[in-house]
Structure 1
């Protein structure tokens, strides 16, 4: 169990989380492991096979606290919250924007542009920090290719073409990530393309877990400003898919999740022993590994950066909430266009 920034993370298999008077209690094999005042808990996040009592579910909903269920690898499964209190006028504007092909396309283009620019920033940093001249040159070429993808995105005329540009840029980017991993770590952390559901190597398992936590933060940010996380612009709308949260997530994947993954690997803060291989070839973080990554993720979110548009210092963890607010202002017509977060 970890309590960070008023969020309680329960990762122990078969743990039972329930309410005990005015406290939240966690038992494992009928033994009390944690007990905290409920008013100290802002949200509850459960990984894998964790049981939550119906009484606690009702209490969390009554008090406006969220319950998030993730699978063992950290992939989002479900979210329980009380009655929706979002701004209906904003949601009406969001539905109007989603029904306008021109607005949808421009918002999708900004989403792709933000993703590619930030991906290029990660690759450029890798090229600068590489001690191997050949690898630095390879990373520089990869950055140049991403710059070409950025120009192609600006010239795209249809959503399908834009999605094709984004997909091609992602393939080149993930190939380049292998060269940012230190040579001594590559035997254990080679990225053989992006694999999901399930991840088939340790690097993919780490990325999937980080993306799941980032996804939860982006969804929370959108709901906090009153937007519907299901109604997106770049990602197609499907039942049960938080398309707008996926849209918002794109600009943050490389600079928040991927950079942290590279840091954990290159500094030896996570090792091959922190992963388990399952039947069918799936590779997932172990319980110990998940604890390490969650702690590192929360520490990273407390670091401060200067927002390039607002020119204000803020914790990294607030960036999705700031961008969600800028997106809401764009949808309401208060801004001429959405400006994604661009890392410096």
Structure 2
């Protein structure tokens, strides 16, 4: 089992990354502000960085540390990794399966069913913990979401599956405001939007989804799978389609619940977001740091994996699911068990 390492988040826009032997250095105006051994890291994510030395990039590639670059607002720019581990036969199987509509639809059903069930579980917590604020719209949505996994099994092809996924997402996010118990006036979602997000909740969710994407891409590469060739999300240049597939089942539990907790516990506030003239909502530096700290703590929480029955840190879920998917493709498992959480 892979042990949970740390991700280094560099949020200082004038930081320069370098290395000294086996140590990663963060410099500002040639002064070393931070030093950490490379073997303590699984990834480095830079927001609006000043630069990185080629020697550091080589060290990261050699040690299997993913190095990702984002804008100061959290938009993904690029990623540097070393050789993909695993064998070519696994990736050839992945490419053949992606071109097979029957297999792609079967795996897509697994990803979407888990997303729907986990989304319903998040909404159901409101019904359980705060029945006084539950309305008929939420009750009706819970009933409809409960029926959707059965509809997925009858879906004829990938287009039908994606249609059901879109319908489920609409039901879920139309009730998302009911999860917000504090700061209701400042954190309201009209609909799920991005590029750019136009409200504070969408800005928070988009930022956290970017962090989850980094984790899932690294997990898939670690087992030898190609993150860009998926089954539910079709090929598009530059898009990590398989990572987006696997992310679907993890979004509600890993990201959405964290976002709601940050708001309800007043760990973030409306002052931590900046509204631009074009309506785009951008997260301020202090809020970004607060969210990153909470994300790291979230990854350390221990759960019992629903399929393995073993206790693992939550941050290992992407690696476990990537491993299970690779084993299924190798023929070691009859089917892929998605991540269900209730």
Is the TM-score greater than 0.5? Answer: yes
How does 1:15-94 map onto structure 2 within 5 Å? 15-20=15-20, 22-94=22-94
Q: C-alpha distance in 1, partners of 2:104/2:21? A: 49
**1:143 maps to which residue?**
142
Aligned residues of 1:128 and 1:136 also touching (Cα < 8 A): no
Q: C-alpha distance in 2, partners of 1:253/1:275? A: 22
The normalised TM-score by structure 1 is 0.93
Provide Cα deviations, 1:87-109, integer angstroms capped at 9, x if missing partner: 21211211121122111110011
**2:322 maps to which residue?**
324
Provide Cα deviations, 1:214-252, integer angstroms capped at 9, x if missing partner: 111111111111111111000011111110000000000
**2:203 maps to which residue?**
205
How does 1:99-118 map onto structure 2 within 5 Å? 99-118=99-118
**2:12 maps to which residue?**
12
Provide Cα deviations, 1:145-167, integer angstroms capped at 9, x if missing partner: 21233332222112111111100
Change (3 A) 1:103 1:207: same
**1:155 maps to which residue?**
154
Aligned to 2:186, what secondary structure does the other structure show? coil
1:34: Cα distance to partner?
Answer: 1.7
The answer to which of 233-242 and 9-18 deviates more is 9-18
Aligned residues of 1:15 and 1:27 also touching (Cα < 8 A): yes
1:38: Cα distance to partner?
Answer: 4.1
**1:188 maps to which residue?**
186
Q: C-alpha distance in 1, partners of 2:231/2:172? A: 23
Provide Cα deviations, 1:144-200, integer angstroms capped at 9, x if missing partner: 121233332222112111111100110110011111111x42111101111111111
Aligned residues of 1:73 and 1:205 also touching (Cα < 8 A): no
Aligned residues of 1:105 and 1:234 also touching (Cα < 8 A): yes
The structure 1 segments of at least 4 consecutive aligned residues displaced by more than 4 Å after TM superposition are none
Change (3 A) 1:85 1:143: same
Aligned residues of 1:72 and 1:284 also touching (Cα < 8 A): no
Aligned to 2:256, what secondary structure does the other structure show? helix
Aligned residues of 2:13 and 2:72 also touching (Cα < 8 A): no
Aligned residues of 2:101 and 2:157 also touching (Cα < 8 A): no
Q: C-alpha distance in 2, partners of 1:295/1:75? A: 19
Q: C-alpha distance in 2, partners of 1:131/1:96? A: 48
Change (3 A) 1:52 1:195: same
Aligned to 2:112, what secondary structure does the other structure show? helix
**1:300 maps to which residue?**
298
Aligned to 2:175, what secondary structure does the other structure show? helix
Change (3 A) 1:82 1:147: same
How does 1:133-282 map onto structure 2 within 5 Å? 133=133, 135=134, 137-182=136-181, 184-282=182-280
Provide the aligned length of Structure 1 versus Structure 2: 339
Aligned residues of 1:68 and 1:79 also touching (Cα < 8 A): yes
Q: CA RMSD in A?
A: 1.8
**2:96 maps to which residue?**
96
Aligned to 1:185, what secondary structure does the other structure show? coil
Q: C-alpha distance in 2, partners of 1:53/1:65? A: 15
Mark the runs of 5 or more structure 2 residues left unpaired by the alignment: none
1:300: Cα distance to partner?
Answer: 0.9
Aligned to 2:249, what secondary structure does the other structure show? helix
The normalised TM-score by structure 2 is 0.93
Q: C-alpha distance in 2, partners of 1:85/1:223? A: 7
The answer to which of 30-39 and 301-310 deviates more is 30-39
1:82: Cα distance to partner?
Answer: 1.8
